[in-house]
């Protein structure tokens, strides 16, 4: 019998694959499951259409410096006040391009990044049933764990899927809008002067999608029923938003039960839009006469220090505890 073993043995000749291949396999499976939803594809398309709209706005700002452009012609046909405002902005850009471009782009990208936030939250709502709930109900966790895939590797693969899709519909469009806006501007110096807006946008969006990805995974692991996890996410979203709006001076901590309030505070702290508005008001005094514009678009909440970051850390901690207890083979 022992003499037959060397004749029966065949050395495996396949390609060896490491742990990253298995992690990517988990991420790819989750991405395919989410992408099969037509509404996810429609929202992704809407994000890139929004990116083109933002690029057009930045293109219009740059074209103010071109005397024979269509934008400049339209401005000359406006009333005296808007024409004076635009004329002041153009003069400021020409005299101090470092401050003017930085402030204008900083304020624009504060709003641009926020426009993607509700779209991304709806996308997360559609993604949650396909993340972990589906694997819990189908007992796929047992199969994954039988393939030399650890608990952390499985969760990291799921995280990559959520982070990747949110990055595709939030981070990449923002970066593309910034790049197109700078490349289509009449001066190459826009690339340098607008760099802070890019760094602030990337920092805010990366922090936001990391936070939302971990929360989504935690909610998705709460139940094997896919509809139940969707309802839980919507309740947390709506209830948190209501608590953030209705909290008073006696219970200000209630606002930090809302992940949307936390994201709002991160944007205020990272972009500091009040500083950009102060720059605009100082150099464009006529802006003060546009009361409706300044009241609606140029008043911002007060930054609340480290409290939003602490609230986010607590939420992420709870999510990780849920994942540790729920995502395990039976």
pLDDT 10s digits, 197-216: 999 999 999 999 999 999 99
Mean pLDDT, residues 249-275: 85
* Assigned domain for 202 exists: yes
What band does 226 get if pLDDT is binned at 50, 70 and 90? confident
* Assigned domain for 212 exists: yes
User: What residues make up the domain containing 289?
Assistant: 37-62+98-326
* Assigned domain for 187 exists: yes
Contact between residue 49 and residue 174 where contact means Cβ atoms under 8 Å apart: no
Lowest mean pLDDT among 19-23, 123-127, 235-239, 263-267: 19-23
What band does 167 get if pLDDT is binned at 50, 70 and 90? very high
* Assigned domain for 24 exists: no
Q: How many domains is the chain partitioned into structurally?
A: 1
* Assigned domain for 286 exists: yes
pLDDT 10s digits, 48-88: 999 999 999 888 877 776 666 666 667 667 666 666 767 77
Mean pLDDT, residues 118-128: 94
The alpha carbon of residue 254 and the mean position of all alpha carbons in its chain are separated, in whole angstroms, by 24
Mean pLDDT, residues 259-264: 92
pLDDT value of residue 267: 93
* Assigned domain for 227 exists: yes
Residue 219 pLDDT more than 50? yes
């Amino acid at each position: 019998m022992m003499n037959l073993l060397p004749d029966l043995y065949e050395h495996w000749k396949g390609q060896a694959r490491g742990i990253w291949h298995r992690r990517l396999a988990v991420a790819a499976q989750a991405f395919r499951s989410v992408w099969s939803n037509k509404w996810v594809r429609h929202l992704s398309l809407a994000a890139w259409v929004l990116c083109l709209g933002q690029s057009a706005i930045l293109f219009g700002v740059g074209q103010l410096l071109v005397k024979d452009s269509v934008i400049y012609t339209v401005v000359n046909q406006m009333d005296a006040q808007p024409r004076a405002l635009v004329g002041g902005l153009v003069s400021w850009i020409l005299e101090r391009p470092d401050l003017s471009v930085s402030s204008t782009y900083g304020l624009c990208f504060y709003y641009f990044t926020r426009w993607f936030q509700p779209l991304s939250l709806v996308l997360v709502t559609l993604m949650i049933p396909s993340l972990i709930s589906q694997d819990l109900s189908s007992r796929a966790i047992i199969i994954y764990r039988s393939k030399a895939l650890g608990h952390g590797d499985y969760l990291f693969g799921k995280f990559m899927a959520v982070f990747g899709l949110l990055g595709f519909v939030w981070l990449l469009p923002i970066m593309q809008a910034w790049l197109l806006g700078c490349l289509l501007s009449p001066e190459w110096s826009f690339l340098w002067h607008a760099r802070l807006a890019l760094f602030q946008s990337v920092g805010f969006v990366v922090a936001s999608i990391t936070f939302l990805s971990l929360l989504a995974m935690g909610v998705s692991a709460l139940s094997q029923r896919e509809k139940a996890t969707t309802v839980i996410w919507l309740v947390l979203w709506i209830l948190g938003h209501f608590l953030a709006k209705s909290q008073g001076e006696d219970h200000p901590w209630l606002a930090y039960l809302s992940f949307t309030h936390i994201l709002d505070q991160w944007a205020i702290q990272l972009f500091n839009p009040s500083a950009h508005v102060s720059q605009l008001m100082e150099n464009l005094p006529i802006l003060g006469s546009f009361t409706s514009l300044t009241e609606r678009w140029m008043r911002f909440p007060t930054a609340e220090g480290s409290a939003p970051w602490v609230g986010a850390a607590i939420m992420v901690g709870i999510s990780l505890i849920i994942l540790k207890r729920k995502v395990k083979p039976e």
